[in-house]
A and B are shown apart, each in its own frame.
Chain A
């Protein structure tokens, strides 16, 4: 059955919320619309009863009103209409589709990580091989996994601060005697290798591996 468009104004009229032209046009309407008038008469009895006996009728509600407090987030969500909920649902589905369905197809070159203004790392890994655990004597070599031809490696050895640094195209390097003499038993060291391409671009950085030279007995 088709609803009369004025039906929505019945409550506002009875609660004296209509004014001026709006009120007059509604009054003129109910003089012409038996359906609205019938509903209004019925609603008027309901509202009068509620107004006259409200204090008695809703005494329990007044007492429990405090307990029925609704959190702000729930109130915010509740203000969504079903249409808005549907829009949110469609948007979420589209987002999931893009993130898991479309984006993985467009995997571009390896990500680039900016270390400083001049250093850029492309996501290739550089694995250190020896020494990676504590050693009994001062190591004669440092060794790592090769990244192929035309790669230059820069090794750095730290003991608090940088104590030695060298460059090689090999995947291992001998520690100079002078440096070895500075590596005393019982001390902790860390070393790291950076790989550069033939054009001098940083292409990989190893993690910093720590080791200790066991103290002499």
Chain B
């Protein structure tokens, strides 16, 4: 019987996975790395090409397929960068002012919301996310159970979501 590769809507794949690939690339290279978007575009291009060539055979999920391409491209990028930096340092391009302003505004609104939280929520965010203590350590510090720490973290985020929407 003739093999037929799974039918993939490439437009849908690009729309769905661009943010995921972007997240992984930024996390691996650092959001300050100027050419992270180039790497993302290269990954998306590779995905489209490979799917068109029938290299995606449905043996794994499309998500895992894209994850593998993304991871390999990041490793390649880091290798190339290391070679370039050894010869001539590349000039750092300026960050996109529009995007930068947008995320700064979002962070400002969120920070103001955090400021308005009750002390019991603020202190748990401080110890767990800012000071990076474990749940157990936060629990010990505050004299509450680790389960209560998780509940407070979840509730704090729920409140922040609500405050930002209004």
- A residues with CB within 8 A of B: 11, 15, 24, 27-28, 30-34, 37, 40-54, 56-58, 60-61, 64, 68, 70, 74-75, 78-82
Q: What is the distance, in angstroms, from B108's C-beta to the closest C-beta of chain A?
A: 9
- B residues with CB within 8 A of A: 16-17, 19-20, 23-24, 61, 63-64, 66-67, 70-71, 106-107, 110-111, 114-115, 119, 122-123, 125-126, 128-130, 132, 136, 139-147, 157, 160-161
Partner of B122 from A32, A37, A61, A82 at Cβ < 8 Å: A61
In the complex, residue of chain B having the shortest beta-carbon distance to the beta carbon of A50: B129
Asked if B64 contacts A47 (CB within 8 A), the reply is no
In the complex where A81-B147, A82-B147 touch, is A50 in contact with B125 (Cβ < 8 A)? yes
In the complex where A37-B23, A53-B111 touch, is A80 in contact with B145 (Cβ < 8 A)? yes
Please indicate the chain B residues that have their CB under 8 angstroms from the CB of A74 in the complex: 143
Asked if B17 contacts A31 (CB within 8 A), the reply is yes
Please indicate the chain B residues that have their CB under 8 angstroms from the CB of A31 in the complex: 17, 20, 24, 63-64, 66-67, 70
Please indicate the chain A residues that have their CB under 8 angstroms from the CB of B67 in the complex: 27-28, 31-32
In the complex, residue of chain A having the shortest beta-carbon distance to the beta carbon of B110: A49
Asked if A15 contacts B132 (CB within 8 A), the reply is yes
Asked if B64 contacts A78 (CB within 8 A), the reply is no
In the complex, residue of chain A having the shortest beta-carbon distance to the beta carbon of B31: A48
In the complex, residue of chain A having the shortest beta-carbon distance to the beta carbon of B122: A61
17 sample A-B contacts, Cβ–Cβ < 8 Å, listed by A number? A15-B132, A27-B71, A28-B64, A30-B23, A31-B17, A31-B24, A32-B63, A41-B23, A50-B130, A57-B115, A57-B126, A61-B122, A78-B142, A79-B136, A79-B140, A79-B146, A82-B145
